[in-house]
Amino acid sequence: MKRKLPAITVSLIVTVVATCTLGGNCKEKVYASEIGNAAEVASSNVEFNQLEMPIISINTVSGSEISSEEEYVGAQISIINDEGNYEMTDMNTSIKLRGSSSMYAEKKSYKMKFEEKQNLLNVGGGAGKPWLLIANYSDHSLLRNFTAYHFADKLTGMSYSPNCRSVEVYLNGEYQGVCLLCEDNNVNKNRVAIEEAQDEVEDNGYLVEMSRYAGENVFAVDTASYVIQSNLSETASIKEQQITYISKYIEESYNALKNGNKDDVKKLIDIDSLVDIYIGNEIVKNVDAGWDSFYMYKDVNGKLCFGPMWDFDLSMGNANCVKGFDSWAGFNPYHVLNVNANANPWFCHALSYEWFRELVKERWNELQNDLNDIPNIVINEAESNYQSYCRNFEKWDILGKQTNISPAEIVALPTYKDHYTYLSNWLSKRINWLTEYYNSEDFTNGVFVKEDGKKLSSDSNLVELSSVLAFGCSGYEMLPNTGIAVSFEEGGSAWAQACATGFMLEEGAEYVLSFDYKCSNELTVPLAVQKNYKPWSPYYSEEINMTNEFQHFEGTFKATENDSNCALALSLGGSTKGTVVTFDNMSLVKKSTSTFVYGDINGNGSVDSIDFGLLREYILGMRKSFEYEYGAKAADVYPDGKINALDFAYMRKHILGIISTFPAEE
């Protein structure tokens, strides 16, 4: 039985006894004094050190540990607002862990659920039952999610973006640092405002997440998997109909986009929402673009809408596992090339069409003032609540240390000011780069480049486009030529591996795997190209004997099936203390099977009137690019590096049978 303590009246006078400058580490001690003039609390011995931010205090029943992402624990929550007053006192709630990879971080994220709808700290557009406390442990600025959600408010093509604010959290009396108090992505008139009729099929709204993580109510469309996140019927037969209905609608919408006819797409998809969610994701260059947390919904009698935007702690330069993702330059390859499990197929197909690129350019320029203000969101929030953010790192001593997949440039930053300044500058450079490129002829013509300025191509190195990581080791270093150096201070565990994960294989296609390798000790290493999920079956396997001299490996194999989520696994379980294993110049490329033909502008293997029509449209300015990768090269039948009337004349002669070969072939 809960013992109710007598209420007392307090207010907080905050005294800073050691100051903190914006350039250094914070070591201030702040004390709260009680006088009789403010809010009611239910305990006579509550004491919090409040700086700039609101405080949320959670006490679980009997001090129970929160250890599950499945089971809620009973708790009570109290909230001190900006003015130092108790906005909420000992209100009943329930709480559990939340997250996927973040579940394994020292600082935890939580999901709270109230019996009645609440609007905590007036953060939301209205009340709701579920609320989140996001730890952002892998983000040393603590501001990546905050910034993305606040900018998403400007992306009005999406009907909703999560409302949030930073708070300091205490759990069972122990300080937990700064968390992001955030609305959950759930169906609610104040959040994802779709109509729910739990036992209806077509007359029901559906919230869906594109995600690689297993769960209930899952279906697949093409290379991606989807999870229905709204409530479905408890009647099995109706539930099955609901899953069939929404999966078929999404498949039909996807196929329409894949085929590229704008009018057909508009019948099924809210294009404004697709444009805005693409822009929001391109700015932040999110490594998880197609792996998880990509939301869409369909209301009753409505089109497929995209949003809300979600989960950006591993974005805005904060990822070292994929080559180029830490750079503010270049396009996110997972938005352009559908060759990886992280790729977003909706963006990949949309960007292949000139009409979509024109919409992106137009919308980007409409948003220019809001875009230019994004770096200021970072600076204003960080400096307004600077002492509170700094105190987080007294609890969690991670500045200057590796967490998750932070790049070396971010890890090296010693102070909190360095981190939020880095983020602000990264965003400023990113926006300037995209502004220039979206307004260029290259973008209009469908040319997308990497961070080094080289063109992204479907023939790209699959390892370069994959997450390269190491497990069961003491540490690892990413190498600039697409490689990894893995070190073992205490010796390797039985499951130690270096991996490149997420790439796709096409049935019947041949692939060439190559890399350079060496080891500080002699070591035999099995390698496999395999499924990146149970039962981890291999498509190709070999064994290499490593010495302290660089050697070169090259092997060829044919894929036996289509697989959208594969891995290159190099097993390092025999490593001993002091071992350093290096793999460099890693490459996995598909052998080309296409034969280039001059005049074959659409790439269908023949030169005919369709190619002549495409060339005519291009010369008359009716089109600015060709869909076929080698279309421009094929159109230059009079090889002078230009596509003009000379090419048209020779193409006409070829179609009429006057000539059988083009000057380019002579």
CATH of the domain at 634: 1.10.1330.10
- Report the candidate in 376, 384, 383, 382 with the shortest Cα–Cα distance to residue 428: 376
347 and 373 co-located in one domain: no
C-beta separation of 131 from 89 below 8 A: no
| Boundary-marking domain end, from 377, 410, 444 | 444
Tokens of 220: 């697949």
3-state secondary structure of 89: strand
Q: What is the 3-state secondary structure (H, E, C) of 141-189?
A: CCCHHHHHHHHHCCCCCCCCCCCEEEEEEEECCEEEEEEEEEECCCECC
229 and 321 co-located in one domain: yes
493 lies in some domain:
yes
Assess whether pLDDT exceeds 70 at residue 358: yes
Beta bridge partners of 201: none
83 lies in some domain:
yes
**Distances in whole angstroms, Cα of residue 611 to Cα of each of 602, 615, 625, 627, 628:** 6, 6, 13, 12, 11
3-state secondary structure of 245: helix
C-beta separation of 599 from 531 below 8 A: no
496 and 560 co-located in one domain: yes
Range of the domain at 81: 49-183
Which residues, 6+ apart, have CB-to-CB distance to 522 below 8 Å? Answer: 545, 546, 547
Predicted local confidence at residue 311, as pLDDT:
94
Assess whether pLDDT exceeds 70 at residue 356: yes
135 and 255 co-located in one domain: no
- Point out the least confidently predicted range of 6-15, 99-108, 360-369, 526-535: 6-15
Q: Averaged over 74-99, what is the pLDDT?
A: 95
Tally the domains of the chain: 5
Question: Which run of H or of E encompasses 470?
Answer: strand 467-471
115 and 234 co-located in one domain: no
373 and 349 co-located in one domain: no
Hey, how many other C-beta atoms are within 10 angstroms of the C-beta on 406? 22
- Determine the residue type at 126: G
Assess whether pLDDT exceeds 70 at residue 397: yes
- Report the candidate in 486, 463, 482 with the shortest Cα–Cα distance to residue 574: 486
- Point out the least confidently predicted range of 31-45, 119-133, 442-456, 537-551: 31-45
Predicted local confidence at residue 5, as pLDDT:
29
Predicted local confidence at residue 194, as pLDDT:
97
C-beta separation of 89 from 56 below 8 A: no
Dihedral (C-alpha) 563, 568, 574, 579: value to the nearest 10 degrees? -160
| Boundary-marking domain end, from 333, 357, 381 | 357
Predicted local confidence at residue 46, as pLDDT:
56
- Report the candidate in 208, 201, 205 with the shortest Cα–Cα distance to residue 227: 208
d(CA 382, CA 423): 11
219 and 342 co-located in one domain: yes
Rg of the Cα atoms in the chain: 28
Assess whether pLDDT exceeds 60 at residue 35: no
435-465 pLDDT tens trace: 999 999 999 999 999 999 999 988 889 999 9
Assess whether pLDDT exceeds 50 at residue 14: no
- Report the candidate in 639, 641, 638, 633 with the shortest Cα–Cα distance to residue 651: 638
d(CA 54, CA 48): 11
3-state secondary structure of 37: strand
419-434 pLDDT tens trace: 999 999 999 999 999 9
597 lies in some domain:
no
40 lies in some domain:
no
Beta bridge partners of 46: none
Tell me what the pLDDT averaged over the chain comes to: 90
Pick the more confident residue, 251 or 2.
251
164-194 pLDDT tens trace: 999 999 999 999 999 999 999 999 999 999 9
7 lies in some domain:
no
Q: Averaged over 186-211, what is the pLDDT?
A: 96
- Report the candidate in 588, 599, 422, 440 with the shortest Cα–Cα distance to residue 515: 588
Percent of the chain with pLDDT over 90: 81
429 and 515 co-located in one domain: no
602-644 pLDDT tens trace: 877 789 888 898 999 899 988 888 877 788 889 999 988 889 9
- Report the candidate in 181, 164, 136 with the shortest Cα–Cα distance to residue 398: 136
322 and 228 co-located in one domain: yes
Tokens of 123: 């953060």
Predicted local confidence at residue 29, as pLDDT:
33
d(CA 155, CA 163): 13
Most distant pair of Cα atoms in the chain: their distance: 101
Percent of the chain with pLDDT over 70: 92
Beta bridge partners of 581: 486, 519
Phi, psi for 253 (deg, rounded to 5): -65, -45
237 and 269 co-located in one domain: yes
C-beta separation of 316 from 423 below 8 A: yes
196 lies in some domain:
no
Assess whether pLDDT exceeds 80 at residue 23: no
Q: Which of 29-33, 139-143, 406-410 has the highest mean pLDDT?
A: 139-143
Give the pLDDT band (50/70/90) at residue 205: very high
Give the pLDDT band (50/70/90) at residue 26: very low
d(CA 57, CA 411): 31
Tokens of 496: 């130690």
Predicted local confidence at residue 102, as pLDDT:
72
Predicted local confidence at residue 625, as pLDDT:
81
- Report the candidate in 1, 56, 9 with the shortest Cα–Cα distance to residue 37: 9
647 and 524 co-located in one domain: no
Full strand arrangement of the beta sheet holding 467-471: 467-471, 497-505, 563-571, 523-531, 538-546
- Point out the least confidently predicted range of 396-400, 406-410, 610-614: 610-614
d(CA 290, CA 226): 11
| Boundary-marking domain end, from 296, 329, 357 | 357
3-state secondary structure of 334: helix
CATH number for 556: 2.60.120.260
438 and 534 co-located in one domain: no
35 lies in some domain:
no
If phi over 0 gives left and psi between -120 and 50 gives alpha, with beta otherwise, what is residue 614?
Answer: alpha
Question: Which run of H or of E encompasses 505?
Answer: strand 497-505
Helices and strands (H and E) in the chain: how many: 14, 24
C-beta separation of 320 from 478 below 8 A: yes
pTM of the model: 0.83
Predicted local confidence at residue 594, as pLDDT:
61
Predicted local confidence at residue 398, as pLDDT:
92
CA angle 107, 109, 112 (to 5 degrees): 145
Hey, how many other C-beta atoms are within 10 angstroms of the C-beta on 283? 24
- Determine the residue type at 475: G
200 lies in some domain:
no
Pick the more confident residue, 158 or 21.
158
